[in-house]
């Protein structure tokens, strides 16, 4: 197991190229199951979750080839089983449920179980697929689903679930008739998935709004598709510039999709500007705390909550962060406190009072974005911070240590003793 050792206090300067989005690449890779013929995907980030997805697709009978950031998928000999050993390491595996049902009329996918940030049930996915004609049983920890051809339905989500919307969007492309998804998720990654499916021949309207209409077609063809850039990775590097008082130029930055994040960072006092095809982000080191609530898109993303908290730990004044999406997404708080942060937790709110400095310490990563927030805090802390259990970080950030070192961070990866 690896750990990161960071010597803090060095402002970051230079250019960072943003990778393809994990949360778009995962559903798009899985959506290849729906296609006849070959799918060619580019800008696929090299991450642990992508390696898991490739393993999953290959267990499901796909033939795959991967070269650097390209993946070719052919769903020639599909089988309906997604085993627990894989699903437990990556919750997004549950996204193969809709496509398998749609393509094969059956699916057996292990129930993912909870994770560090919350219980994360999939009841809304199942309820919606039932409306399209699927029947489910839970047996030995596996969800077993059956259907004849899925049929169109009007589905109203109780909550705009990202994964639920993606699962249903995929399932509906090959169903008979029209499916309407109401209170659908509007996240840019859902839109990217819809664009991919449309390129494969799907008939979809309204993606990016809360009502998505899908007219089922008989087959989808393979296509070539480039995955969108990762808005959460870009937001994380924006915070890296801010917390170290440096200046970063972000290439391939999905600026339009970052509006809620950019708005908060500007409110804190950061300078963020589009310059040609780059986004230049800087801070003179004096920032103010703000109040933030996480919300479904276009609200402030929960996946940036931990990173923003790290930034607020060193800003002036005090602010409140309210986490509305996941019931347990504050695992980073006690670790930030180990570095000297002043944070009081009360239910779903964290009260942060900025401190003059953080001091390096050994800390433990508990989930993906918590890990990122600890790395960010370590970049600004005085002395040495060791972030343990960074396999969480490797699940979702492409070579973060290498990218940071290139712009002046004193960071090294070593084996955890
Ligand atoms: C791979 C991927 O894209 N992951 C993202 C996706 O996760 P994910 O798709 O799991 O997130 P959802 O939008 O589905 O979940 C949001 C909330 O709804 C609840 N819920 C969800 C489904 C359901 O059937 N029942 C239910 O109660 C969840 O427990 C959670 O509290 O969107 C989240 C919210 O933007 C992000 O933080 C994750 O990074
Ligand atoms: C929570 C996240 O991912 P996942 O849904 O894959 O756990 C994330 O990307 O921050």
Q: Provide the residue ranges of all domains of the chain, joining segments of one domain with +.
A: 2-18+229-415, 22-226
Q: How far is CA 105 from the centre of its chain?
A: 29
Any ligand 1 atom below 6 A from CB of 230: no
* Residue-level pLDDT at 240: 98
* Residue-level pLDDT at 175: 98
Q: Compute the distance between CA of residue 213 and CA of residue 205 in angstroms, rounded to an integer.
A: 5
Q: Do domains 2-18+229-415 and 22-226 have the same CATH topology?
A: yes
State the SS3 of 184-217. CCCCHHHHHHHHHHHHCCCEEECECECEEEEECC
Any ligand 1 atom below 6 A from CB of 94: no
Ligand nearest to the CA of 369: 2
Q: List Cα–Cα distances, 138 to 52, 120, 135, 163, 366, in angstroms.
A: 24, 17, 10, 20, 29
Model ipTM value: 0.99
Average pLDDT per consecutive 10 residues, the chain (417 residues; last block may be shorter) = 96 98 98 97 97 96 97 96 90 96 96 85 97 95 95 98 98 98 98 98 98 98 98 98 98 98 98 97 92 98 98 98 96 98 97 98 95 98 97 95 98 94
Q: List Cα–Cα distances, 26 to 38, 70, 189, 198, 270, in angstroms.
A: 17, 13, 10, 17, 32
Q: Which residue has the tokens 């004609």?
A: 133
Which ligand 2 atom sits nearest the alpha carbon of residue 49?
A: 6
Select from 26, 161, 233, 307 the residue to mutate for testing ligand 1; criterion: most ligand atoms less than 8 Å from CB. 161
Residues 6+ apart with CB under 8 A from 24: 188, 189, 192, 193, 227, 228, 230
Which ligand 2 atom sits nearest the alpha carbon of residue 369?
A: 10
Any ligand 1 atom below 6 A from CB of 302: yes
Any ligand 1 atom below 6 A from CB of 128: no
SS3 130: helix
SS3 372: helix
Any ligand 2 atom below 6 A from CB of 92: yes
- 253 labelled catalytic: no
SS3 311: helix
Q: Compute the distance between CA of residue 177 and CA of residue 227 in angstroms, rounded to an integer.
A: 28
Q: Is the backbone peptide bond immediately before 298 cis, with ω within 30 degrees of 0? A: yes
Select from 232, 296, 303, 305 the residue to mutate for testing ligand 2; criterion: most ligand atoms less than 8 Å from CB. 303
Judge if pTM exceeds 0.90: yes
* Residue-level pLDDT at 112: 87
Ligand nearest to the CA of 372: 2
Q: Compute the distance between CA of residue 119 and CA of residue 127 in angstroms, rounded to an integer.
A: 17
- Identified catalytic residue from 96, 115, 147, 289: 115
* Residue-level pLDDT at 285: 76
For domain 22-226, give the CATH superfamily.
Answer: Enolpyruvate transferase domain (3.65.10.10)
* Residue-level pLDDT at 417: 87
Q: How far is CA 195 from the centre of its chain?
A: 18
Architecture category of domain 2-18+229-415 in CATH: Alpha-beta prism (3.65)
Q: Compute the distance between CA of residue 110 and CA of residue 220 in angstroms, rounded to an integer.
A: 26
Any ligand 1 atom below 6 A from CB of 164: yes
The response to whether 303 counts as a known ligand-binding position is yes
Ligand nearest to the CA of 332: 2
Select from 113, 368, 393 the residue to mutate for testing ligand 2; criterion: most ligand atoms less than 8 Å from CB. 368
């Amino acid at each position: 197991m690896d750990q990161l050792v960071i010597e803090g206090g060095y402002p970051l300067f230079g250019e960072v190229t943003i990778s393809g989005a994990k949360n778009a690449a995962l559903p798009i890779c899985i959506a290849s199951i729906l296609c006849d013929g070959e799918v060619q995907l580019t800008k696929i980030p090299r991450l642990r979750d992508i390696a898991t997805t490739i393993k999953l697709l290959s267990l499901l009978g796909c033939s795959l080839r991967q070269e650097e950031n390209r993946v070719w998928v052919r769903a020639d000999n599909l089988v309906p089983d997604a085993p627990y050993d894989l699903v437990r390491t990556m919750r997004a595996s549950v996204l193969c449920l809709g496509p398998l049902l749609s393509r094969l009329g059956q699916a057996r996918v292990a129930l993912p179980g909870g994770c560090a940030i919350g219980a994360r049930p999939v009841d809304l996915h199942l309820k919606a697929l039932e409306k399209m004609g699927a029947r489910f049983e839970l047996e030995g920890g596996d969800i077993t689903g059956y259907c004849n051809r899925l049929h169109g339905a009007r589905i109203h989500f109780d909550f705009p679930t990202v994964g639920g919307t993606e699962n249903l969007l995929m399932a509906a492309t090959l169903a008979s008739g029209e499916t309407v998804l109401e209170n659908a998720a509007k996240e840019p990654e859902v839109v990217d998935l819809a664009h991919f499916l449309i390129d494969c021949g799907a008939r979809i309207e309204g993606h990016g709004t809360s009502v998505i209409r899908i007219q089922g077609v008989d087959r989808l063809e393979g296509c070539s598709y480039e995955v969108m850039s990762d808005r959460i990775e870009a937001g994380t590097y924006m915070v890296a510039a801010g917390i170290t008082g440096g200046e970063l130029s972000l290439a391939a930055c999905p600026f339009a999709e970052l509006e809620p994040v950019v708005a908060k960072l500007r409110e804190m006092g950061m300078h963020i500007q589009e310059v040609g095809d780059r986004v230049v982000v800087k801070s003179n080191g004096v920032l103010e705390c703000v109040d933030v609530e996480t919300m479904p898109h276009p609200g402030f993303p929960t996946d940036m909550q931990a990173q923003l908290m790290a930034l607020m730990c060193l800003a002036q004044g005090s602010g409140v962060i309210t986490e509305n999406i996941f019931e347990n997404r504050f695992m980073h708080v006690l670790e930030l406190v180990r570095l000297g942060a002043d944070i009081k937790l009360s239910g779903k709110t964290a009260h942060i009072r900025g401190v003059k400095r953080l001091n390096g310490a050994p800390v433990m990563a508990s989930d993906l974005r918590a890990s990122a927030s600890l790395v960010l805090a370590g970049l600004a802390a005085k002395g040495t911070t060791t972030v343990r259990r960074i396999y969480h970080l490797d699940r979702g950030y492409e070579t973060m240590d290498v990218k940071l070192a290139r712009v002046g961070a004193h960071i090294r990866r070593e084996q955890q003793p």
